[in-house]
Amino acid sequence: MNIVPQIKYNYRKEIFAFFLLALAIRLLIAFQDISYIDRIFLPDDTYYTLAISENIYADGIPSVDGIVSTSGFQPLITLFQIPLFAFTTDKELLVTLAVCISSIFGALSTIVIGLLLFSLANDSSARLGMGLFAIAPGIILNDLNGLETSLSGLCCLLLILQLYRMKTSSSLLNEVFLGLLCTLALLARIDSVFIVMITGLYCLRAFGLISTIRVASTAVLAISPWWIYLYLEYGSVLPESGKAVKQLIDLVITNDPYSGFLPLLSLYKLADVFSIPNMPLIISLPFRVTILIVSFYSVIIGLKNKSLAIEFKLIMLSALPLLFFYTFYLPAYWFFERYFYWVYIALIMSIACTYKQEAGKFYRAVILLLIPLSLASQYLFFSKPETVPLLAHNLYGPKGYRDISLYMLPQIPPNSNVAAMQSGALNYFSPENINVVNIDGVVNRDAYNTIKDATLDIYMKQREINYFADWPAQLEFLNNHAKNQFNENCRIELASIADGYLESRLYKLSDCYDY
């Protein structure tokens, strides 16, 4: 079975050229100094995932700390990371390799975008779509995060490509392959469920009930071993990280007088697809407003256009529930950059599809301005903080989890138990004689339950926690949910390190209670 549509040879050469462009940009960035990559591109979750992959390779246990097992990860990306640990134990090299893997998945998506646009739109749309995807800062930031984001985007794009194939040949083999792609999309990222559901509804309408049953049955059979394992081990087929993030959001929103502005922050992050990342608001606001107007206008034009291929409309429609879900139900704004990856792809596709269809010269001119705006971000991605002092304050934090961990860990005595909410890099880089305990519950269901039951202080005693490493705001969270056990009289600050516009600190928890 050939999933690649029959397109002209010259078009294939163009697709390959754009793929090489996307791959070159990503790999050139990926092989720069790791401290720079860490500060710009890597969230703490990158280190969570690597630690889980390492423990699966070593002990067969999906665990961050090697003690408490977790379902708070996306399984498909770990399948690509686990083999890396057979070739090297160099932790920093493993980080670089993980970034390279996610970069390659991102570059491969350029090929699928080209195949879809050349087959279903026109030459200009294809070139514009591939070009924007290759250089868009919001896409590159995700493709270089060492996580599952780019893999999920690739799986979802392949899902759409297979739908196009089924229109010409709705065979049993094509139906099975579509079902398998649905499974891969869900295993890559659970929020792919929105596009999987819309795919199912489209199949029901376009191919009939029997065909849809075959697709759904294949998907269910393929994913059922994983779901059965999750249910038997953790009592749910959903990753436990989701409910932990939801609990943290509810706690934050309850005490945040500005929580009503979260939808505006969602719009702000949507514009990151083409905007120079974290540029000061006073400078970036005109660009962001323009990007949002063009993006929404292109989506409206696309959905209203009867001649636009249904595959593109499915991409746009599947992005809407994803956007609403994260804006209003799970508004973890610190994750919006990653949550909106599929929305970014939908915006790029809608702009590319409507570029030729919309006759207005002004509209086309504004779209073309997105190219130099995106290219400007490449300068920042290849620059060092000291060369861009105007932007360094925003662009380079709050990240840099590797630097923080490598600074703090040597100051912690052997056989210590360290609590942290941002515990991914601390866990990943910690020696065997230092135990790092996650206490926000994202990868530790015991911590999630203790926060829920207001017994975090008891859990801290049970785990014999004697150090805390995190931002001061996280310390206040800990103190508030541990019945004031860790107030200023019960802790000693040992070290601090600048973390972009925040500051991470290491505390020794003193003798306010005995273990």
pLDDT in tens, the chain (515 residues): 555 555 655 688 899 999 999 999 999 999 988 888 888 889 999 999 999 999 999 999 999 998 999 999 999 999 999 999 999 999 999 999 999 999 999 999 999 999 999 988 888 899 999 999 999 999 999 999 999 999 999 999 999 999 998 888 778 999 999 999 999 999 999 999 999 999 999 999 999 999 999 999 999 999 999 999 999 999 999 999 999 999 988 887 766 666 777 788 888 888 889 886 666 677 778 888 888 888 888 888 888 888 888 888 999 999 999 999 999 898 888 888 899 999 999 999 999 988 877 656 777 888 888 888 888 777 777 666 555 544 444 444 446 789 889 999 999 999 999 999 989 999 999 999 999 999 999 999 999 999 888 888 889 888 999 899 988 878 787 777 777 667 777 778 888 877 655 678 898 987 665 54
Dig out the tokens for 70 from the structure. Answer: 């977790």
Please report where in the chains the tokens 């990943």 appear, as a residue: 428
Report the 3 state secondary structure along 73-85.
CCHHHHHHHHHHH
What sections of 329-400 are H helices per DSSP?
A: 336-339, 341-354, 361-381, 389-395
User: Residue 179: which residues within 8 A CB-CB, separation 6 or more?
Assistant: 214, 215, 216, 217, 218, 219, 222
pLDDT at residue 6, as a whole number: 57
- Distance, first Cα to last Cα, the chain: 63
pLDDT at residue 2, as a whole number: 54
Task: Report the distance separating Cα 14 and Cα 162, nearest Å.
Answer: 21
Residue 302: name the closest of 234, 340, 351, 254 by CA: 351
pLDDT at residue 56, as a whole number: 96
Interaxial angle between packed helices 123-135 and 341-354, expressed in degrees from 0 to 180 and rounded to the nearest 10: 150
Interaxial angle between packed helices 193-207 and 149-168, expressed in degrees from 0 to 180 and rounded to the nearest 10: 0
Q: Is 509 in a helix, a strand, or coil?
A: strand
DSSP readout, 162-218?
HHHHHHH---HHHHHHHHHHHHHHHHH-GGGHHHHHHHHHHHHHHH-HHHHHHHHHH
Residue 491 in contact with residue 508, Cβ under 8 Å?
yes
Q: How far is CA 80 from the centre of its chain?
A: 16
pLDDT at residue 251, as a whole number: 81
pLDDT at residue 376, as a whole number: 77
Interaxial angle between packed helices 123-135 and 361-381, expressed in degrees from 0 to 180 and rounded to the nearest 10: 30
pLDDT at residue 397, as a whole number: 46
Dig out the tokens for 371 from the structure. Answer: 């190219």
pLDDT at residue 359, as a whole number: 56
CB burial readout 24-52, b (16+ within 10 A) else e? ebbeebbeeebebbbbbbbbbbbbbbbbb
Nearest 5°: the CA angle 272, 277, 279 is 115
Q: What is the DSSP letter of 410?
A: G
pLDDT at residue 396, as a whole number: 45
Nearest 5°: the CA angle 296, 195, 333 is 60
User: How far, in Å, are 93, 227, 388 from residue 87 at the CA level?
Assistant: 10, 30, 37
Residue 364: name the closest of 422, 448, 294 by CA: 294
